[in-house]
Chains A and B, each alone.
Chain A
Amino acid sequence: MAYLAQLGALADELVASLAAAALDTAEGRKRQAADRESALRGIRFHSFLGTNQFDVEDQLKGFDERFRVIGRESLADALSERLAALDPHRNKWTPDVLRFILELADQPAQKSDLRN
């Protein structure tokens, strides 16, 4: 029960951060409640498998190679530098967090800008 309450609180924060509807209207409140329900359903009932940390490492290596092949060495260096810096902070959740980040990667070879 405590777990669900904590998950619910985090889902509230996530909805507020990503889909913040105007809460001063009845429509906005209804929308936010629906978003929260849908988010909780999405994270509780799914058919995804657990994270394979070797797949995650392969995918990160793949990005490094792709960046270098297209001449974006600075991006590849920045990525490997950050991954090395992450090493002392690694825990059992790190592969899952990296998996999450990889899922949201949006054509970094073409679109990433280091000035950001």
Chain B
Amino acid sequence: MHQLNLDINPSDFIEKDILELLHLENAPEDKKAAVIKDMIETIQNRVLARLLDSLNEPEIDTLEVMIDAHQEENVEKFLMQKDFDVKKVTAEESINYKAEIINLVKAKKVG
């Protein structure tokens, strides 16, 4: 069985929120909001990177054109046609990010 390389209890990993795991639960609200915003932006960028990687140049152009024209439904349809499941990719990237940031903060502290 594959093991997730984590220094924390897996059930904590699932149950506790990221702020708790990074000991930021008592931080001021604005600080917490800023951290969450940074995290979500990072995840969004990673999802975007996966999307752009999965498309070829003309497809990216097509997507850009639809975005410029604010064709929200067409964009969603287009992604579906390209078999790009936003929710699935976001879940994958989020979980990877969660594990990565916990390990990174821990490693930096030790280092």
- A, B: real partners: no
